[in-house]
A and B are shown apart, each in its own frame.
Chain A
Amino acid sequence: MSDSIAIELCDVVKRFGDVVAVDHVNLQIRDGEFFSLLGPSGCGKTSTLRMIAGFELPTAGSILIHGREMGITPPHLRPVNTVFQSYALFPHMTVAQNVAFGLEMRKTPKAEIARQVKEALELVRLSGLEDRRPRQLSGGQQQRVALARALVNHPEVLLLDEPLGALDQKLRKEMQLELKSLQARVGITFVFVTHDQEEALTMSDRIAVMNKGKLLQVGTPTEIYERPNCRFVADFIGETNFIDGVVIGRDGNYTVLETPEGLRLRGLAARPLSDGTAVTYSIRPEKVRLLAPNGELPPNGLAGTVMTVNYIGSDTRITVRINDQRTIDIWEQNTRSTLDRDEYWQPGEAAVIVCPPDNALVLSE
């Protein structure tokens, strides 16, 4: 993976009337990477993608593709191709004609077109369906045609707007793997829009999380999951426990906070925070440890009572009440095979929660 930049967004703003769809976004997407734009509905993912493709022009800011300023370059002159959410296959053309369209537009010689179309259809495993119309294909097959139609042009960047959104769960999982391996084979930069965090985590080299038009965090799936930089990202990706409090000092590498009830907790902060800053303590349920009480509280420990215990096979999910206002979720992996109920926690039991400070985050805002 080279380090050159495929796409760069500089301070890009997009307004639709009063709505700010994209709000001062700065972003660099590297060559050959599988890059995901992740965020809830309406956060500006599609708008961002459409500006890269050239269907919309930024209200302010600039977009560069391989260092070239795009300005008002119309879509048909940009070195990118798009796979649309609803595929947008041309209904009056056959599969082969759909795939050939981009090459014809570039006045590729006929024989060459035939060869490349065949190759592209082989790539997406659709050989033999050349003469079908889009209407005669299943959702998954249409999806593949849309992919082939874009890839056959060898774009510098492939833009995909929730391409798996219309597929059922099983097909979706299949296509995720296939898309990922396809990307590895062709080596083209993929910019993939999704609102499904699991999808983004499994497929991407890097993820950008957006909310309300703003870019919140860019990083590898591990970084995004393990070191979210704000409450929204921690909440949006996976499950987590939040405890509000204010910073009261530092302890070595850790930042110390105090909750309104007077509980003191330590965790990692992304940057130094001055005392008195309102913060949120975040710890993932699988990182919390649950111990039997033995007199005194361990460091970063909280006393509580087990409320509910749900056995879900791989894990046991436990909710512990630590005081009148607050409960904490804990997921314990079932590492041992047993039918003995006593091996599991029981509702009503007293317990001690430990939040290892290296696994807990102190998030500002």
Chain B
Amino acid sequence: MIKTAPATTASARIRGAFSEGRLTWSGLALTVFSILVYLFLYVPIVILVIFSFTRDEFGVRWTGFTFDWYIRLFNNPRMMGAAWNTLVVATVSTIVSTIIGTLLAMAMERYRFRGRNAIEGLIYLPIVVPEIVMAVALLAFSAIIFDVIRMVTGEVLRRNLATVTIGHIAFSISFVVVVVRTSLKNFDRRLEEAAADLGADSWNIFWRITFPLILPGIIGGALLAFTLSLDDFIISLFLSGPGTSLLPVEVYNRVRRAITPEINAISTLMLILSMALVALSQVLQRRR
């Protein structure tokens, strides 16, 4: 997501002052401060991981190593069901929002048309609207839709995985658009002209030239959408129905009652998954 601009020689020299060992007092203070901030960021995570292996049944102090909590976790159908639901929702939401978002990004980047600014606003709004507002709005909307369906067909529907997925797609689209647009902006359109010049029709131009070159951006958008969906708690809480809960909601419900090492274990696993996704997105970005 963040690209490092090549440093100008001048600022590189100043930055170099650090490695040249000319440590000033302010530089030292800054370094110590930054180390403390990094510790602040990582100590809780490390403790969480450590305490997923403790024997202590409250999971808050170290009383010896055990792997039991993971085994229990894998034998807990509720948790495993929620994990499965989460993966299904994230996968569907990623596929749909990536496709829709990519199309939208193409439209916004490639065309000038009336109402473009309004659409621009509509695309960016989900990023700035607090998630809880979006969640209650979708909840109210789904209730109305269900009422209408009940009145028309007599069928009684309840919130389920589909409602959650729809909500996840609604906020993921915007993020996909942002990421894909960046790679479309960096794309040199003369390559498309060159392809046309060499006899490629618009189908071939898109699949042989445009698509391969913006693919890293699309994958970046997809990974972001996947992570957002995996991590989402608020919309999941409001839109999932009874018996179809997602992992973050399940964790939340358990945590509100008590800390258990089983939660430490599932949290550790979620952590590892997130790290794998960051690593993946970084590897893909490097390749560009």
By a beta-carbon cutoff of 8 Å, the part of chain A in contact with chain B is 53-55, 74-77, 80-82, 84, 86, 88-92, 101-102, 105-106, 149-150, 153
A101 pairs with B198, CB closer than 8 A: yes
Q: Told that A55-B196, A82-B194, A101-B195 touch, could you supply 5 new A-B pairs with CB distance under 8 A?
A: A55-B193, A88-B191, A101-B208, A105-B198, A150-B198
| 10 closest Cβ pairs, A-B complex | A102-B198, A105-B199, A88-B194, A75-B196, A88-B190, A82-B197, A76-B199, A76-B196, A105-B200, A92-B212
B198 pairs with A86, CB closer than 8 A: no
By a beta-carbon cutoff of 8 Å, the part of chain B in contact with chain A is 188, 190-191, 193-201, 204, 208-209, 212-213
Known pairs A149-B198, A153-B198; A91 contacts B193 (CB<8 A):
no
User: Complex formed: what's the CA distance from A322 to B151 in Å?
Assistant: 103
Write out the residue numbers on chain B whose beta carbons fall within 8 Å of the beta carbon of A54: 196
Identify the closest chain B residue to A80 (Cβ): B197
How many contacts A-B (CB < 8 Å)?
60
B213 pairs with A92, CB closer than 8 A: yes
B212 pairs with A76, CB closer than 8 A: no
Identify the closest chain B residue to A87 (Cβ): B194
Shortest Cβ distance from residue B216 to the other chain A in the assembled complex, whole angstroms: 10
> Which of the listed residues B196, B208, B209, B213 has the most CB atoms from chain A within 10 Å of its own CB?
B196
Write out the residue numbers on chain A whose beta carbons fall within 8 Å of the beta carbon of B199: 76-77, 102, 105-106, 153
Write out the residue numbers on chain A whose beta carbons fall within 8 Å of the beta carbon of B190: 84, 86, 88
Enumerate 20 A-B pairs (CB-CB under 8 Å) in ascending A order.
A75-B193, A75-B196, A76-B196, A76-B199, A76-B200, A81-B197, A82-B194, A84-B194, A88-B188, A88-B194, A90-B191, A90-B194, A91-B213, A92-B212, A101-B195, A101-B200, A102-B198, A105-B200, A105-B204, A150-B197
Write out the residue numbers on chain A whose beta carbons fall within 8 Å of the beta carbon of B194: 82, 84, 88-90
Write out the residue numbers on chain B whose beta carbons fall within 8 Å of the beta carbon of A81: 197-198
Write out the residue numbers on chain A whose beta carbons fall within 8 Å of the beta carbon of B213: 91-92
Shortest Cβ distance from residue A220 to the other chain B in the assembled complex, whole angstroms: 29
Known pairs A75-B196, A101-B195; A90 contacts B201 (CB<8 A):
no
User: Complex formed: what's the CA distance from A150 to B196 in Å?
Assistant: 12
> Which of the listed residues B194, B200, B209, B212 has the most CB atoms from chain A within 10 Å of its own CB?
B194
Shortest Cβ distance from residue B187 to the other chain A in the assembled complex, whole angstroms: 10
B191 pairs with A75, CB closer than 8 A: no
Write out the residue numbers on chain B whose beta carbons fall within 8 Å of the beta carbon of A76: 195-201
Shortest Cβ distance from residue A59 to the other chain B in the assembled complex, whole angstroms: 19
Write out the residue numbers on chain A whose beta carbons fall within 8 Å of the beta carbon of B212: 92
Identify the closest chain A residue to B201 (Cβ): A76
A75 pairs with B197, CB closer than 8 A: yes
Write out the residue numbers on chain B whose beta carbons fall within 8 Å of the beta carbon of A77: 199
Write out the residue numbers on chain A whose beta carbons fall within 8 Å of the beta carbon of B200: 76, 101, 105
Known pairs A88-B190, A88-B191, A92-B212; A74 contacts B198 (CB<8 A):
no
Write out the residue numbers on chain B whose beta carbons fall within 8 Å of the beta carbon of A106: 199
Identify the closest chain A residue to B197 (Cβ): A82
Identify the closest chain B residue to A78 (Cβ): B197
Shortest Cβ distance from residue B175 to the other chain A in the assembled complex, whole angstroms: 25
B193 pairs with A90, CB closer than 8 A: no
User: Complex formed: what's the CA distance from A54 to B192 in Å?
Assistant: 13
Identify the closest chain A residue to B194 (Cβ): A88
Known pairs A91-B213, A105-B204; A74 contacts B191 (CB<8 A):
no
